[in-house]
Structure 1
Amino acid sequence: MALKDLDAEIVRIRDHRSRTYYTEALRAYRSGAYRAAISSAWVALVFDILLKYRELSAAGDAEATTFIGGWDKAIAANDVAKLLEHERSLLEHAKTKMGLMNLQEHRLLQRLYEDRHLCAHPAFAVEDKLFEPTDELVRTHIVSIVDIVLSQRPVQGRKIFEAFSTDVQSPGFPSDEGKAIQFVEDKYLSGMRSEVLKNFGIILAKSLIKNVPAEWDNHRIRIVDALNALRLRRSESWQEILTAVAKLINDDDPELRPRALAMLADFPELLPRVEEAPLAALQEVASSDAQLVDYPEAFAAVELEPFKEALLTRFADLSRTEAAEVLNVVAAKMFWPNALERFGNSGSYRNAEANFDRFIRPFTEGMTEEMLDQVLEATRENGQIWDAGGVPDRLFELLKAKQPICPSAGSVDEFFLSLSSRLRTRFDDVWEHLRSLGWEEPEQLPDED
């Protein structure tokens, strides 16, 4: 790194007081006083860590408060031995207790600590030979203190989880998955060390599996999005998180099995890590456990081969009300044939309208041309559906929501021709919409009314 790059590092340092100490190290380096530069770099590092501790303590971090309290007490008592003890333990405490650095970063800064001893205490040198640090070593130390500590925000430990808890319960949390992932990346992941990233992921996973804290339970999708941010943006930490989450599932708490099923559905890469006995227990839950209906998110595991057949059978056996509750949460395409059948078997006008809302509308987002064809087919084959007053409007709204995807021309033609002239007029909004998408009205058969 060139000298001008070291100058540019100053603007990255958050606190103006830390910049002063950094500047002293930089001046010593420029003048060739390498031992003085290393000693000054260490002072800048310690000073900045203590500033961060004080900031975290002021925000209510108990661990930072305890450490700063001990430090200030030693200063007040002029207890040099105690201060030296605190200085020796500072890097380890910052890594282990506060998450301000990862293991590799700790090693780099520990080397600075050791070199500082050689520079400040000549007696530490071997055979009365003065320690002569190289230009490259000094520059590495100066850059490291900025990259690892001086440029970083002191948002670690408990405070980051408190901030996330507030965000995840706020109406301002992005509802779009991509925007939510970017939000979590920008506000949280970008400022986290690896240890904190791992803890963050484990806490999020625990909230999904153990419902702790309970106030996050109504924001499950947001928690999943936050975990996906870790999965997509921090792949190395994600592997450690998967190991910890797999252990939670393998501990196999019977009351938490439906939640574990939902977790596997959201993150199927966990499945190979589930041990044989817990997997068998989860399959039994999918097959027969009554509490499964109380946690409809578990039905998303229908996409996983070990649970597919059991959950398809369970869904088919649900009452209309129970099935609608599941689809309101999990509109898995594997449930579509059964949902379509329930709609097609509507036995009255009002039942047809209700069944459209229960069993067709939930699939809107992922609905394909083929599925739209099937909706038209089910509608034209049941007079309780095509003659229900609320069906035309519902069908129109569905088609508008899916444009430019639309049913095939052949399917629309069959539906159009199956209706009498009187009934066709009730679907005028549907025909007009389809015309705007390129459909051409077929030649009509003689009206039999």
Structure 2
Amino acid sequence: MIDLDDLVNRVVNPDVRPLVKEAHRCYASGAARAAIVLTWTAVCADLIHKIEVLKEEGEADARTLIQDVERAQQPGEADAVPLMLNIEKVILDVAEKLELIDRTHRTQLERLREDRHLCAHPSLRPMGELYVPTSEYARAHLAAALDAVLVHHPSQGRRVRDSFIAHVADPAFTFEASYLGHTFFDRVRPASRARLVEFAAKFALLQLEDDAMPIAAPMFADRMAQCLRLFADRDQSLSEEYLDRQMRRFETAEPAVQLAALGRLGDLPAFWKSLPDPMRTLYNTKVTSIAAQVAANGYLRPDETRALALVASPEVRTSLPALTSAFVALPVSERSRVIGVRPDPYFLPYLPGLLTEVRSFDQGEYVTRTAILPSAGLMGLEDTKAVLRAWWDNENGQTWGRAMPGYLVDLYSTTAHLGEARNEVWKASLEELRPFPDLFNDIARGTGLAATIVPG
């Protein structure tokens, strides 16, 4: 059963909230007739406010009703009462047109309006009988009014959707979870919310082309995947439902679209719950073929890199067992690219091996810049020791390219989360550089450890 107390406290408009609380008190005390009259009064007041907001935002369909309201509110207006009676007559038509309510809500509110008339005008019943509503009927009307109108912000389905698309498609888009969640999920009506989730799921999964979009389809799909992940955090079942609805189209999508979707949605549980088993098998086969292709030509495409980076997720490793062997078989530079796409504690044991395997100054710098430094914030003391040991122990000295001393200083800075304990690790490692005074002094000064190291 709907918790009326909770809904009453969630009424959006502070000016309307006292009316709703009074209606609730009337219902609770058994004054059902008064509760119904006050509930309809609250609905009218709330809808007028919301329609006024939309009129100020430029909605043409809201203009006529608000002009009538403003006219009725003028001092000395002789037709004020007829004007307001007419507004009550058409307000649900206007609200539905503006998408403030849907057809079902309109039907419920029309019943409320009719019962309000019966409660306020006893002469409407034949034979002079008084209309005597029950408390349960008053409660049903109050619950319907709260659910349909009173607890929602003045948002429209079409307008919200257009605003959502414009925001995400903006070339200067920045993903801000708190703003997006508040504006396009928490504050919108359930029906509009479902349409937004459906839109995000469709474009994130199918990477649809749209000439009207100011950005490329893959970028728009990536942004929609971020939004879908945010929506799934708030309502996973809703995301699962709308991903599932797109799966028939997805199964026949181009292979490039299918692989791109894995890379952008593969860490989303709702994606795997809606993914058919044959698609899982297909993906596992794709992973195996990617590894074979890299062995032949030596490089990964961006969509392949993102897909293989999912090896960091234990759930995905279970669904796609080929991921682990494919990642391990990659050349050093490609393994580094995979780690750089999705830094994760899973990859920390692999970092020393990358430095050990580099075979040129350029490769050493690339590995450090692409995989080591992005992972530094995740390292523990033992991880740091192992990375420094491998840095020092590369048998061909290929970890000492021109940029590498500066990268070492950056590594020290980005392991600040380890606190003072890291200094002992670093000082012990720096001692091994004493035979190279210039290198030793540059790094000691860059890390700020020079003053704490005993002169040699």
Superposed pair shares fold, TM > 0.5: yes
SS at match of 2:414: helix
Aligned partner of 2:435 among 411, 421, 425: 421
Tell me, in whole angstroms, the C-alpha distance in 2 between the residues paired with 1:44 and 1:277. Answer: 54
Aligned partner of 2:359 among 347, 359, 366: 347
Write out aligned runs for 1:79-118 (5 A). Answer: 90=93, 93=96, 98=99, 100=101, 109=109, 111-116=111-116, 118=118
Equivalence for 2:275: 274
What are the ranges of 5 or more consecutive residues in structure 2 without an aligned counterpart?
A: 66-85, 295-299
Residue 376 of structure 1, CA deviation: 0.2
Residue 194 of structure 1, CA deviation: 1.0
Do the aligned partners of residues 166 and 321 (structure 1) sit closer, same or farther apart at CA in structure 2, a change above 3 Å counting?
A: farther
Q: Does 1:329 align with 2:338?
A: no
Write out aligned runs for 1:330-409 (5 A). Answer: 330-338=342-350, 340-382=352-394, 384-385=397-398, 387-405=400-418
Question: What TM-score does the superposition give when structure 1 sets the normalisation length?
Answer: 0.68
Tell me, in whole angstroms, the C-alpha distance in 2 between the residues paired with 1:102 and 1:410. Answer: 70
Q: After superposition, what is the alpha-carbon deviation per residue over 1:248-277, rounded to whole angstroms, capped at 9, x for unaligned? A: 346423433213323543312442443221
Equivalence for 2:242: 244
Tell me, in whole angstroms, the C-alpha distance in 2 between the residues paired with 1:102 and 1:335. Answer: 53
What are the ranges of 5 or more consecutive residues in structure 1 without an aligned counterpart?
A: 69-82, 445-449
Residue 339 of structure 1, CA deviation: 5.2
Tell me, in whole angstroms, the C-alpha distance in 1 between the residues paired with 2:399 and 2:331. Answer: 24
Tell me, in whole angstroms, the C-alpha distance in 2 between the residues paired with 1:246 and 1:36. Answer: 44
Equivalence for 1:301: 310
Amino acid at match of 1:240: L
Do the aligned partners of residues 409 and 89 (structure 1) sit closer, same or farther apart at CA in structure 2, a change above 3 Å counting?
A: closer
Amino acid at match of 1:347: R
Tell me, in whole angstroms, the C-alpha distance in 2 between the residues paired with 1:127 and 1:298. Answer: 76
Tell me, in whole angstroms, the C-alpha distance in 1 between the residues paired with 2:429 and 2:55. Answer: 72
Tell me, in whole angstroms, the C-alpha distance in 2 between the residues paired with 1:125 and 1:342. Answer: 87
Equivalence for 2:286: 285
Tell whether the 8 Å contact from 2:361 to 2:398 is kept in structure 1 after alignment.
yes
Tell me, in whole angstroms, the C-alpha distance in 1 between the residues paired with 2:124 and 2:130. Answer: 9
Tell whether the 8 Å contact from 1:342 to 1:355 is kept in structure 2 after alignment.
yes
Q: After superposition, what is the alpha-carbon deviation per residue over 1:92-136, rounded to whole angstroms, capped at 9, x for unaligned? A: 957xx9364697x67863551452464478798698632124689
Could you tell me the percent identity over the aligned residues?
Answer: 19
Tell whether the 8 Å contact from 1:35 to 1:120 is kept in structure 2 after alignment.
no
Equivalence for 1:258: 259
Do the aligned partners of residues 265 and 129 (structure 1) sit closer, same or farther apart at CA in structure 2, a change above 3 Å counting?
A: same
Amino acid at match of 1:367: M
Tell me, in whole angstroms, the C-alpha distance in 1 between the residues paired with 2:383 and 2:353. Answer: 12
Aligned partner of 1:199 among 168, 191, 195: 195
Residue 378 of structure 1, CA deviation: 1.1
Aligned CA-pair RMSD: 5.0
Residue 195 of structure 1, CA deviation: 1.4
Equivalence for 2:178: 182
Residue 149 of structure 1, CA deviation: 3.0
Tell me, in whole angstroms, the C-alpha distance in 2 between the residues paired with 1:219 and 1:45. Answer: 37
Equivalence for 2:324: 312
Tell me, in whole angstroms, the C-alpha distance in 2 between the residues paired with 1:35 and 1:355. Answer: 71
Tell me, in whole angstroms, the C-alpha distance in 1 between the residues paired with 2:422 and 2:13. Answer: 64
Write out aligned runs for 1:223-238 (5 A). Answer: 223-232=224-233, 234-235=234-235, 238=236
Aligned positions, number: 398
Tell me, in whole angstroms, the C-alpha distance in 2 between the residues paired with 1:278 and 1:35. Answer: 54
